[in-house]
Structure 1
Amino acid sequence: MPHEFRPYLPGVLAYIADEISVEVAVRLAEAKGGRRVYIPKNPDSETALAKLVGWENACLLSKLLGHGELPVPAGSFGGQTGRRQRIAMLLDQGMSHSDIAAKVDVTQRTVERVAASLRDPDQPMQRDLFL
């Protein structure tokens, strides 16, 4: 049974994931990571936030965080560790290396290295330069 992918979500994104949903936090991170998003006091369906996460979720965000500008953290998928987790999950789902590389925004060689390290966890990711 595949387990749910839980990306690394820093700061307020982790709080949103815990209180509302991981999907809302990820959607915010993907669309606005490293930038600001405005949370209206009383969102309607035509606000930018409602168009991004849906009206009900925009209302929940307003209740949870209040209104005003929200700086959305960058690096929403945890750098190397987050990419590795996501690659591992997609490999478990049987996705091809090429498709994973496109989806995670890494090279196919990176996917191959992660796949090899998952087969042999004792194998270091990089050779020692001084051997």
Structure 2
Amino acid sequence: MYKKIYIAVDESEFSKQALAVATKMAQIFNSTLCIAHCISDDDSSSQEAGRGVLENAKANINGITVETKLLIADEQYGLNGISLAIAESATEWKADLLVVGTSNRKGLDRFFSGSVAEELVKKVDCSIMLVRIN
């Protein structure tokens, strides 16, 4: 059903759980998994840190094809820049499913801080699976 599963990761617990779900889905459907990480500064230290996040995410995945992508977000757009970079990359990669970890923020916390996951729902044309932390 899903041949290309895309997941954007950071170092949060939400992201770790979403990666576990995406990996399981890729194993079930014999899919290719693309792990992306978004940085806002295009300097060498940010790129090195970003590659470290991707390598850590990929380290324990076996038995499936895994690609990684380091994305550069336009810092001036904040969360919208991150979601736009992820959405464009997932579309370019022709993802069938986008897996995103999300928090359970409600009320004013959600209103003021926003959500990359919420923005992605508006921006991508593929199926989206939101994974909430237990």
Question: If the length of structure 2 is used for normalisation, what is the TM-score?
Answer: 0.28
More strand by share: 2
More helix by share: 1
Larger Rg: 1
Question: If the length of structure 1 is used for normalisation, what is the TM-score?
Answer: 0.28
